[in-house]
Chain A
Amino acid sequence: MPGMWWVVGAVLVVALGAAYLIWTAGRVERLQTRAESAARALDAHLLRRAAAAAVLAERRYGVELYAAARIALDAVPEEREAAENDLTRQLRTVALDPDDPACEAVIAASRRLALARQVHTDLVRDARAARGRPLVRLLRMGRGHDWPRYFDIDDPTLSLPADVPTG
């Protein structure tokens, strides 16, 4: 009976299509959630670095560094990227002594921040790519979330550990 095969075929196509849609929705959701987690981790690392810089400024390097750290801590989201870049520039102007615990804390915080920034950028790119697919847009998958935003700052790595060559 040719009619029955036609029905079986149609059911199969619908089932496959539905499976694909469910899988895609799950994928978009997963990437979104991950990008949001990465943003929270990045935020925490930014706060840590600014706090470490403020502690250092109180002890040694004075007003300008302290001001930059304070501004970075208090910045509203629209001004935060610029404030963080200012802090990076301020930190680069002071000579940090890796043997001093307060300096070491700033160097370590900057290194961890650099990693968090790198990971965040990659995960945001993945999430945006998934959100931007035509089918995903058409069905408005992931609409419960804002579009993941890049956080565009300069590489905050301070004195690259002198021992490790970089390219």
Chain B
Amino acid sequence: MRIGIVCPYSFDVPGGVQNHVMDLAEALIGLGHEVSVLAPADEDSPLPSYVVSAGRAVPLPYNGSVARIAFGPVSTARVRRWITRGEFDVLHVHEPLTPSLSMLAVLCARGPVVATFHTAMTRSRVLSAAQGVLQILLERITARIAVSALARKVQVEHMDGGAVEIPNGVAVAKFAGVEPLPGWPGECGPGTGGTLGFLGRFTEPRKGFPILRDAFVALAPDRPGLRLLVAGPGDAEDLYEQFPAELRERVSFLGMVSEADKPRMLRSLHLYVAPNTGGESFGMILTEALAAGTTVVASDLDAFRRVLDGGRAGRLFPTGDAAALRTALVELLDDADRRAALTACGDQVVASFDWPVVARRVLEVYAAAIEATDGRVMDQEWAGLG
């Protein structure tokens, strides 16, 4: 199949949507399809061979954050040229409701269009002022995909349309079998040692870092050798001042880790802790920790419970309860067999999030969109699904 994918955000800055697009494109190429990705990017930035640059992106304040997007007459001309030259069987746009390349591509498209909605954003401020424009845009989309139950709910309730829920994939191969960081994770036995990890914005309340901190501060004096490894954006000082002076040497801060170092960081842990208090629609980081073979302890949110298969693939604790988290940590740090059992189950769970598996489900949606456009049904083999 010839597939054209449009990414609205610049590949020059890392982000969830960009990673999703790249992983999906690579998985589809791996399944034998021809893929071209159109994305904004600086002229001189190194891009994978399947990416076509749509020119430089300009930072625009949008929906409360700054997005680097390309939009305007020059971009429109480039999108149109790319679509004409590509002769795609199906066009797959991401986040088409942000004013971006994706929106332009939807408006230029003639054939079947599949749209993926990542965020649970109801509708942009720009578009809420123009219901008619939104309708013109939405009716050009043939099939819709939502990456989480929450994003799907928004589709159904606010945009009058169904959407197929297909979760984010994980590039399992990138996570399995990497070397941990030197010197980690260290010893862990009954009553002693162990490494806990946290990745994310520790200053953001809904990430729940204070709950992990409370549990760590309560547990560390009773458990010699217990260490905490934190990674994510933020100031080291802001992190350390949350801990009593005598415990600070047992807390390590890595700052931002690159996509390449993330698997190594996750491998350097005995337990990955996700103490989030809400606002998570999927829990990507949990699937990544599972793919790295690290045992996961997570708060009992709907999204996390689903990823962890109701607690079979990781330990759940009542959301926001530091005492319960402490109990769970002790239990798992003391019991290597239990950790191994959870990890083994985690391997099975994560296999279903592996990109080739997820990409096959996306291909079925492509097939449905193409069929709905020309009215003929494809064979499994032709669609590359067999």
Q: Does B364 contact A (CB under 8 A)?
A: yes
Tally of B interface residues using CB under 8 Å:
42
**Do B135 and A118 have beta carbons less than 8 Å apart?**
no
What's the dominant secondary structure at chain B's contact region? helix
**Do A31 and B139 have beta carbons less than 8 Å apart?**
yes
Q: Knowing A164-B167, A167-B165 are in contact, say whether A41-B143 is a contact too (CB < 8 A).
A: no
Give the interface size class of chain A: 20 to 34
A34 to B152, CA, bound (A): 23
Q: Does A15 contact B (CB under 8 A)?
A: no
Say which residue of B307, B351, B352, B373 sits within 8 Å of A34 (CB atoms). B373
A166 to B351, CA, bound (A): 16
Q: Does B2 contact A (CB under 8 A)?
A: no
**Do A37 and B149 have beta carbons less than 8 Å apart?**
no
User: Binary interface profile of A, 7-49, with partner B (CB < 8 Å = 1, else 0)?
Assistant: 0000000000000000000010001001011111100110010
**Do A125 and B160 have beta carbons less than 8 Å apart?**
yes
Q: Knowing A115-B365, A121-B162, A163-B352 are in contact, say whether A37-B372 is a contact too (CB < 8 A).
A: yes
Q: Which chain B residues (349-386) contact chain A, with CB distance < 8 Å?
A: 349, 351-352, 357, 361, 364-365, 367-369, 371-377, 380, 385
Residues of A within 8 A of B (CB): 27, 31, 34, 36-41, 44-45, 48, 108, 111-112, 115-116, 118-123, 125-126, 129-130, 161, 163-167
A165 to B167, CA, bound (A): 9
Q: Does B161 contact A (CB under 8 A)?
A: yes
Minimum CB distance partner of B110 in chain A: A30
Inter-chain contacts of B357 with A (CB < 8 A): 163
**Do A112 and B165 have beta carbons less than 8 Å apart?**
no
**Do B375 and A118 have beta carbons less than 8 Å apart?**
no
**Do B161 and A122 have beta carbons less than 8 Å apart?**
yes
Q: Does B277 contact A (CB under 8 A)?
A: no
Q: Knowing A123-B142, A167-B152 are in contact, say whether A116-B376 is a contact too (CB < 8 A).
A: no
A123 to B352, CA, bound (A): 30
